[in-house]
Structure 1
Amino acid sequence: FNTGPPGAAVLPPAGYPRGVPMGYYNPQQPSAFPYCQPTGGTHPIQYQPGNYPVPSQSAPITWMPGPTLMPDCPPGLEYLTQLDNIHVLQHFEPLEMITRFETNNKYDIKNNLDQMVYIVTEDTDDFTRNAYRTLRPFVLRVTDFMGREIMTMQRPFRCTCCCFCCPSTRQELEVQCPPGITIGFVMDHWNLCRAVYSIQNEKKENVLSVRGPCSTYGCGSDSVFEVKAINGVSNIGSIIRKWNGLMSAMGNADHFDIHFPLDLDVKMKAMIFGACFLIDFMYFERSPQHSSR
């Protein structure tokens, strides 16, 4: 061990406690869980807290600066109070495109500055994913830069073998924030020519509505789902599925832009955010594979 030349000790620059950059794994940070422990060497661990380890030769993920805690705001949703639009970017899975084996969906949630806001990971077993495909029940876990699960979205299984207009066959998404505390529901409604949803509060009272285009496939163009007030007249925002080319569509790598007013209630922002995923699974995932017979 070389102690170096004699002289006054040089303190690390501001924002770098104990010589480890802020936002990187630190043994004194109980909230950060790296994927593996170091076996030796003098270099700091180049892993961003959360679900995605970053290789040492790549630049670390840039996260949106953490906001201060706010009263009457569910923990973890403080980010949404500062945003009027977010980008939902699904991970491209080339192996899934080749083998047709459905894997858990993963999404990066970013702001306009390309800073990461959240990470969304599907938690569904292999059989359920590949047997039910677009109809599968799922749990989506939303984590922040510290790896904390700040929101959970649950979709129960609904049988579609009955009459297509039967209420028991309509799709539903429950949003919990923090996990275990329901803040609202997204309900699918039957319509002859377009996708229609209602966004409800925790008491299942209709607050907002979502109306999709007549053709939701959007081959060659964007698909716009308008978010309106309960009267169906006032525009509140939109959920736009961007068309990023045929390869992106074949690889199930969807890109959504979500727009809402900056001063909208943060719980309603979270509900519009949740509606985006129910729309994605219902209209832009692969359909169940049928036997040639």
Structure 2
Amino acid sequence: MSGVVPTAPEQPTEEAENQVKSTTAVPDAPPDYNSHFNTGPAGPAAPPSAGLPMGYYVPQQPSAIPLYHPTGGTHPIQYQPGKYPLMNQPAPIMWMPGPAPMPNCPPGLEYLAQLDNIHVLQHLEPLELMTRFETNNRYDIKNNVDQMVYIVTEDTDDFTRNAYRNLRPFVLRVTDCLGREIMTMQRPFRCTCCCFCCPCARQELEVQCPPGVTIGFVAEHWNLCRASYSIQNEKKESAMRVRGPCATYGCGSDSVFEVNSLDGASNIGSIIRKWNGFLSTMGNADHFEIRFPLALDVKMKAMIFGCCFLIDFMYFERPPPRRSSR
């Protein structure tokens, strides 16, 4: 019969259900895929790659930078962009080792107890050299082996510095390697319009160590031809005298300020302003060398140290600008 379409023979219901279950069911254990594989003899072990620690995996990929993945707890060193070490970094500042505290010694002056010679190096300020604008002075205090001992910074406002120049009152703050202010030097303003022999025109410097505790004064004395000072204790009792040369601006040579006893019979030390050429003179970058006995009282060493700065401001800083007669 041509109009009848042949159909598949009917299957029992149980057999159809078994076929559906067999396509979705998961076997209890995977089949043995290695039943047809025959193991051959073991070959030689591959040597580890040179230059890399054991336990690192190096993927061999063409045209790709190998990445190292540690299997242990260590991590490879990685450099972030812009964080590579620079080869032209300036040398670190070498500080003098901090001494142990000493009895009857103000904190911070233990450094001076171990020294008989220090150098005061003023920073060269290019702004002053080009514009004649006076900035706060800064000094590095070093020992003979070029180790930093102190840092001295001036704390004065712009108007006072540029209006009075070397006649200005100032505050100098001395800090150690930890940034602690261990000493303060203050110079009050003294009128210079009157006669030089008048006591009110004589310059004075007060030294405090620690800040707020006065340990002495440096007082100027009138002299016709040379610088003269007296170093005093906290009660303003004279202990030493300082005498400078007749020509304090020693062009081409050092200027020596001698520290003597009160009677002038014995020499205790000296404050030497080194000659470093015309460039340092024009830029007010002075270099002083201070010498004193090793066994000298540490407070007197600090007073000689403070006298150096009064000498620097009075004789080696630029004078105030002269006003025109018009």
- Pairing partner for 2:301 from 269, 272, 282: 269
Q: Secondary structure at the match of 2:323?
A: coil
**1:88 aligned residue:** 120
Which letter does structure 1 place at the counterpart of 2:249?
Answer: Y
User: How many correspondences in the alignment?
Assistant: 253
CA distance in structure 1 between the partners assigned to 2:115 and 2:207 by the alignment: 19
Q: CA deviation at 1:6?
A: 3.4
CA distance in structure 1 between the partners assigned to 2:100 and 2:316 by the alignment: 36
**2:196 aligned residue:** 164
**2:103 aligned residue:** 71
Matched, 1:243 2:275: yes
Q: CA deviation at 1:4?
A: 6.1
> Is the alpha carbon distance of 1:3 and 1:105 closer, same or farther for their aligned partners in structure 2, counting shifts above 3 Å?
farther
**2:217 aligned residue:** 185
Matched, 1:206 2:238: yes
Deviation readout 1:245-266 (Å, 9 max, x if unpaired): 0111011000000000000000
**1:6 aligned residue:** 72
Q: CA deviation at 1:72?
A: 0.5
- Pairing partner for 2:322 from 279, 290, 293: 290
CA distance in structure 2 between the partners assigned to 1:285 and 1:103 by the alignment: 12
**2:254 aligned residue:** 222
Deviation readout 1:174-231 (Å, 9 max, x if unpaired): 0000000000000000001100000000000000000000110111110000000111
**2:285 aligned residue:** 253
**1:103 aligned residue:** 135
> Is the alpha carbon distance of 1:3 and 1:150 closer, same or farther for their aligned partners in structure 2, counting shifts above 3 Å?
farther
Q: Secondary structure at the match of 2:295?
A: coil
Q: Secondary structure at the match of 1:272?
A: helix
Which blocks of at least 5 consecutive residues in structure 2 are unaligned?
1-67, 76-80
**1:152 aligned residue:** 184
Q: CA deviation at 1:3?
A: 10
Deviation readout 1:88-130 (Å, 9 max, x if unpaired): 0000012101111000000000000000000000000000000
Q: Secondary structure at the match of 2:289?
A: strand
**2:17 aligned residue:** none
Q: Secondary structure at the match of 1:65?
A: coil
Quote the RMSD (CA, aligned, Å): 2.3
**2:165 aligned residue:** 133
Which letter does structure 1 place at the counterpart of 2:118?
Answer: I
Q: CA deviation at 1:292?
A: 3.2
Larger Rg: 2
CA distance in structure 1 between the partners assigned to 2:123 and 2:201 by the alignment: 29
Deviation readout 1:21-79 (Å, 9 max, x if unpaired): xxxxxxxxxxxxxxxxxxx99899xxxxxxxxxxx921211100111111110000000
Q: Secondary structure at the match of 2:171?
A: strand
**2:15 aligned residue:** none
Q: CA deviation at 1:132?
A: 0.4
Which letter does structure 1 place at the counterpart of 2:72?
Answer: P
**1:21 aligned residue:** none
Q: Secondary structure at the match of 1:71?
A: coil
Identity across matched positions, percent: 79
CA distance in structure 1 between the partners assigned to 2:220 and 2:156 by the alignment: 21
**1:122 aligned residue:** 154
Q: Secondary structure at the match of 2:249?
A: coil
Q: Secondary structure at the match of 2:72?
A: coil
Matched, 1:279 2:311: yes
Q: Secondary structure at the match of 2:314?
A: helix
